[in-house]
Amino acid sequence: MGFLKDDIQARIEQYDHWATRRRHGPNGPNNRRLWVLACMDERLPVDEALGIRVDTPVGGGDAHCFRNAGGIVTEDAIRSAMLTCNFFGTQEIAIVQHTQCGMLSANATDLEQALRDRGVDIDNLTLDPTLPELSLQPGGFAKWIGMMDDVDVTCMKTVEVFRNHPLIPKHVEVSGWIWEVETRRLRAPTTDAAARARTDVTADQFGVRSPQPGRWR
């Protein structure tokens, strides 16, 4: 029979390594060696969807998690994925998007026009004042917003971008998933109408009739 003090000491040592794991680079990875890209939507519970501990309890430690509008490819998502996969020991990427996404709810050209109407100079815009080299070509702003025509199609294309990006090592496993807000279940992305029944996955279902700027084509 072991002693309680030994169990306590082991837990202390484990926690010390957990708290200081970034000092160890690839030898101090998160628990699952996993990076998650997910939509920022409050109805997407990453822990419940994937069956891991990221957000709850706080600092669960299973994965690095990056959220943005839509859970899509952006320059900062690539930056974060590059760091975790090359320097922090991550070996797997999971992309999690969801039905009922706000990125289906409007056309990006209309959103751009709304900003213009508020006096924003879209054509002479510094995206990041700390990195003025990062800029958009004229006409690129609406694409940069990243609105979608179809969540499943966007998820599949996002997976392919990460699989083929030169900053992501080829051995890294990349998968994509759709969280159904209506049914609270996870499924693989698909264009099969029967598999997507009873869920809103296209911009048309939100009353958006004009195709989005051609980012996902």
Q: What is the pLDDT along the chain (217 residues), one digit of tens a residue?
A: 789 999 999 999 988 888 899 999 999 999 999 999 999 999 999 999 999 999 777 678 899 999 999 999 999 999 999 999 999 999 999 999 999 999 999 999 999 999 999 999 999 888 899 998 988 888 899 999 999 999 999 999 999 999 999 999 999 999 999 999 999 999 999 999 999 999 999 999 999 999 999 887 7
What integer pLDDT is reported at residue 60 of this predicted model? 80
Residue that is written with structure tokens 């807000």 in the block: 181
Domain assignments of the chain as residue spans, ordered by start: 22-104+148-208, 107-146
pLDDT of 112 reads 96
pLDDT of residue 17: 87
CB pairs under 8 A, 24+ apart, for 57-64? 60/31, 61/18, 61/30, 61/31, 62/30, 62/31, 62/32, 62/34, 63/30, 63/31, 63/32, 63/34, 63/35, 63/36, 63/94, 64/30, 64/34, 64/35, 64/36, 64/88, 64/90
pLDDT of residue 144: 95
| Structure token digits, residue 165 | 């990006």
Q: What is the DSSP string of the chain?
A: ---HHHHHHHHHHHHHHHHTGGGGGGGS--TT-EEEEEE--TT--HHHHHTS-STTTTT--SEEEEEETTS---HHHHHHHHHHHHHS---EEEEEEETT-GGGSS-HHHHHHHHHHTT--TTS--S-TT-TT----TT-HHHHH---SBHHHHHHHHHHHHHH-TTS-TT-EEEEEEEETTTTEEE-----TTTTTTS--BGGGGT--SPPPGGG-
The reported pLDDT for the residue numbered 139 is 87
Distances (CA, A) of 82 to 75, 90, 91, 185: 10, 10, 11, 29
CATH 3.40.1050.10 fits 22-104+148-208, yes or no: yes
What's the confidence (pLDDT) of residue 114?
97
Q: Give the model's pLDDT for residue 42.
A: 97
pLDDT of 14: 87
Structure tokens at 112: 């751009």
Instruction: Give every CB contact of residue 201 below 8 A, 6+ residues apart in sequence.
Output: 99, 104, 150, 151, 152, 178
